[in-house]
């Protein structure tokens, strides 16, 4: 009998051999083994020490988490019926196991005994941090609940896991279900050549004439930004705004899922003795309380509102006077903004895009990583899940392996939207039984960029990325570096493990700053047709436009953050038929408070807000802005040093932020790097929102 490839932990995942049929037998076996291990380690003969209890438990459970991580990854990047069915069939079983684990009083007692023992002081800082985190997490998992309430808590965890998966699947299916076919070439006016060609190839693939536009970002965004056809923009906007809502197939409507998720989260919080889910969410985060976060968001909104109102007033005036649009509709905003950008700064995003060719962008990204952190990035080989995927290794200057990562850049219909990093293997020191030595980390970096289209001189033209795409790639690479450059040797706090959720965006947002450095862009651009580097004159225009509409963009993010936090703190998710305000009512109230641009009544933003309903950001979306304060302040240290690649500052960022993982509180790591408390000034300055004092 052929061994199950999901049970092979000797190296990298065997994506060339793993099939949906492998999931049930492999995960079932690992669940059985894990339960047996837990039973043995909680027996009276096993002392509550690190080496006898905590380390073997982490080693044993890692096999399950690695295998299930592969299954979850394939569900995200190859969401075909076979993988969807295999994932969903095992999801309740895996959820049940982790819920049982979190409520196991014997395990909980062992960790408490470990912390109370004389040996606790002799543990490493990483080991002590893990023990402390475990005790905290047992409490959040319902370990201290009365026995008659534990089954209900477990049932909530299982249902929430299934609902989150269904939310994501509905959104992907609703996105894939829509297509706008254009037969009249006049409707393509304004669209760049590569966008037209991609739309033509998409129609040809289905054997249809004309051009096909979809809701996938490489098709949707440029159409909204460049299409002169107001009809086309309006059709795409409405389809995107109403995805997975009551206007489409009932089986893809996320509305009932939202209500159920919110109700279950509130019930979970109340079982644990908290007033609401937001309070639960904040326990393992840097932020201390819901009022503190609300005050932070509203203070930032007050500072940004003046700039946002100025942005929207300028856009409306330009639309009236230059575009002859009597009313600026939501489907006009991206289009009018691009026209205003061109008029004000004499360049277009499309012009810039031709310089960011994939080979040069990757080479430039890797050069930044190498220069900042003293490593080398090299191509590597491994089995992959799609021909699009590439694989790389990070080495020390002497050639020692530090970590590896998969890079999956292009959008596909079977791949969930957005961009994200996930861990495949986490760095740790292996036990003697496992051969000793260091297990090197491996990461997945996933984006949804347009793939190459067309030819030049008989060869395929390289993919070209917008500057926003490049920023996204640097962002996800920052997450990857946090995982890959750790020096921690204990699983629970290695890489991004144990890092507070509202600090995990620090390295990712920090890396975005390098997309605005002239020395970096010189080396990472080559025009798709001429090979010329980005002209300094064009870069200066980009820099001048860097904070174009930053006020509007800031209040939009604050709108999402406030909506999320209020939804999980003050909102009552009881049946709306009981006369209570609904989710959309809450969102409307938030918009009245902070927004400067209101969407149509039929807009169903919550139905596509996968970050909070399917992505782990529930009551935590504020983390982007919270961590942006930290990341901007960290980058300011390089500005103060006078060099974005200052070696001493780069080494300090590596040593005090990236390398330490979750060994200590993130605020302590920030203080160790910066030598003081964080300040919001750098963020406001980087976003052009510090007003000059009046003389």
Catalytic residues: 476
Which one, of 434, 353, 335, 443, lies nearest residue 389 by Cα?
Answer: 443
Kindly report the backbone phi and psi dihedral angles of residue 86, in degrees, each rounded to the nearest multiple of 5, phi listed first: -65, -40
Q: Within 10 A of 57 (CB to CB), how many other CB atoms are there?
A: 22
Tell me the β-bridge partners of 425. Answer: 442
Whether the Cβ atoms of residue 593 and residue 562 lie closer than 8 Å to each other: yes
Tokens for 344, please give them. 């004000």
Complete edge-to-edge strand list for the sheet that includes strand 420-425: 376-379, 390-395, 401-410, 442-449, 420-425
Residue 463 three-state SS: coil
* Whole-angstrom distance, CA of residue 78 vs CA of residue 93: 22
Residue 158 CB burial class (10 angstroms; 0-12, 13-18, ≥19): middle
CB-based contacts of 587, cutoff 8 Å, min separation 6:
563, 605, 606
CA geometry: angle at 288 spanning 286 and 292, to 5°? Answer: 115
CA geometry: angle at 516 spanning 196 and 624, to 5°? Answer: 90
Kindly report the backbone phi and psi dihedral angles of residue 421, in degrees, each rounded to the nearest multiple of 5, phi listed first: -110, 145
* Whole-angstrom distance, CA of residue 375 vs CA of residue 369: 7
* Whole-angstrom distance, CA of residue 547 vs CA of residue 534: 20
Tokens for 504, please give them. 């995990």
* Whole-angstrom distance, CA of residue 82 vs CA of residue 422: 22
* 3-class SS string, 132-201: HHHHHHHHHCCCCCCCCCHHHHHHHHHHHHHHHHHHHHHHHHHHHHCCEEECCHHHHCCCCHHHHHHHHH
Q: CA–CA distance from 373 to each of 13, 300, 633, 659, 672 (Å)?
A: 27, 33, 19, 11, 18
CA geometry: angle at 16 spanning 10 and 18, to 5°? Answer: 75
Q: Within 10 A of 637 (CB to CB), how many other CB atoms are there?
A: 18
Tokens for 361, please give them. 């962008």
CB-based contacts of 493, cutoff 8 Å, min separation 6:
126, 129, 130, 133, 661, 662, 663
Which one, of 406, 416, 537, lies nearest residue 483 by Cα?
Answer: 406
Q: CA–CA distance from 95 to each of 86, 141, 616, 617 (Å)?
A: 14, 12, 15, 18
Whether the Cβ atoms of residue 630 and residue 678 lie closer than 8 Å to each other: yes
* Whole-angstrom distance, CA of residue 563 vs CA of residue 559: 6
Tokens for 115, please give them. 């912390």
């Amino acid at each position: 009998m052929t061994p199950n490839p999901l049970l092979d932990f000797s190296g990298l995942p065997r994506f060339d051999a793993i099939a949906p049929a492998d999931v049930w037998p492999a995960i079932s076996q690992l669940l059985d083994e894990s339960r047996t291990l837990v039973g043995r380690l909680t027996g009276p003969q096993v002392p509550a020490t690190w080496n006898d209890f905590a380390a073997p438990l982490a080693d044993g459970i890692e096999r399950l988490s690695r295998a299930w991580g592969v299954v979850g990854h394939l569900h995200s990047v190859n969401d075909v019926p076979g993988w969807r069915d295999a994932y969903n069939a095992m999801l309740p079983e895996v959820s049940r196991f982790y819920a049982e684990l979190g409520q196991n009083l014997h395990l909980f007692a062992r960790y408490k005994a470990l912390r109370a023992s004389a040996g606790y002081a002799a543990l490493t800082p990483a080991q002590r941090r893990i023990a402390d985190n475990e005790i905290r997490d047992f409490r959040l998992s319902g370990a201290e609940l009365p026995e008659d309430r534990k089954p209900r808590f477990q049932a909530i965890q299982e249902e929430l896991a299934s609902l989150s998966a269904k939310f994501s699947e509905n959104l992907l299916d609703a996105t894939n279900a829509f297509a706008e076919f254009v037969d009249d070439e006049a409707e393509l006016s304004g669209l760049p050549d590569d966008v037209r060609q991609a739309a033509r190839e998409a129609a040809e693939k289905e054997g249809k004439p004309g051009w096909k536009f979809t809701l996938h970002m490489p098709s949707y965004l440029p159409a909204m930004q460049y299409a002169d056809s107001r009809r086309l923009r309006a059709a795409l906007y409405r389809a995107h705004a109403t995805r997975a809502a009551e206007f489409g197939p009932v089986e893809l409507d996320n509305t009932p899922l939202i209500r159920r998720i919110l109700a279950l989260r509130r019930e979970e919080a109340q079982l644990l003795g908290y007033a609401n889910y937001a309070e639960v969410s904040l326990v393992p985060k840097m932020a201390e309380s819901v009022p503190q976060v609300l005050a932070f968001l509203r203070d930032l909104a007050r500072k940004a509102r003046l700039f946002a109102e100025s942005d929207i007033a300028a856009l409306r005036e330009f639309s009236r006077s230059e575009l002859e649009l009597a009313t600026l509709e939501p489907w006009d905003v991206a289009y009018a903004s691009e026209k205003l950008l061109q008029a004000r700064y004499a360049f277009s995003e499309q012009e810039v895009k031709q310089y960011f060719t994939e080979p040069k962008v990757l080479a430039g990204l890797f050069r930044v990583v190498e220069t900042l952190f003293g490593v080398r990035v090299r191509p590597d080989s491994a089995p992959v899940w799609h021909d699009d995927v590439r694989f790389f290794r990070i080495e020390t200057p002497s050639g020692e392996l530090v970590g590896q990562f998969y890079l999956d850049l292009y959008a596909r219909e079977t791949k969930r939207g957005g961009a994200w990093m996930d861990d495949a293997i986490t760095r740790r020191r292996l036990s003697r039984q496992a051969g000793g030595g260091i297990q090197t980390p491996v990461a997945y970096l996933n984006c949804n960029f347009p793939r190459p289209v067309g030819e030049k001189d008989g060869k395929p033209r390289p993919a070209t990325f917008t500057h926003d795409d490049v920023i996204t790639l640097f962002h996800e690479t920052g997450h990857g570096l946090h995982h890959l450059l750790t020096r921690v040797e204990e699983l629970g706090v290695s890489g991004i493990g144990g890092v507070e959720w509202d600090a995990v965006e620090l390295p990712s947002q920090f890396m975005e700053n390098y997309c605005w450095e002239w020395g970096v862009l010189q080396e990472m651009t080559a025009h798709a047709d001429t090979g010329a580097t980005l002209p300094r004159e064009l870069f200066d225009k980009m820099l001048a436009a860097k904070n174009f509409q930053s006020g509007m963009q800031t209040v939009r993010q604050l709108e999402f953050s406030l909506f999320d936090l209020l939804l999980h703190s003050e909102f009552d998710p009881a049946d709306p038929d009981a006369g209570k305000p609904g989710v959309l009512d809450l969102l409307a109230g938030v918009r009245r408070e902070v927004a400067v641009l209101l969407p149509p009544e039929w807009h169903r933003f919550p139905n596509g807000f996968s970050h909070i309903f399917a992505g782990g950001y529930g009551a935590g979306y504020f983390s982007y802005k919270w961590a942006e304060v930290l990341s901007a302040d960290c980058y300011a240290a390089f500005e103060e040093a006078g060099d974005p690649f200052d070696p001493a500052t780069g080494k300090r960022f590596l040593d005090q932020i990236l390398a330490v993982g979750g060994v200590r509180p993130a605020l302590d790591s920030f203080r160790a790097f910066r030598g003081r408390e964080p300040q919001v000034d750098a963020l406001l300055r980087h976003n052009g929102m510090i007003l000059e004092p009046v003389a």
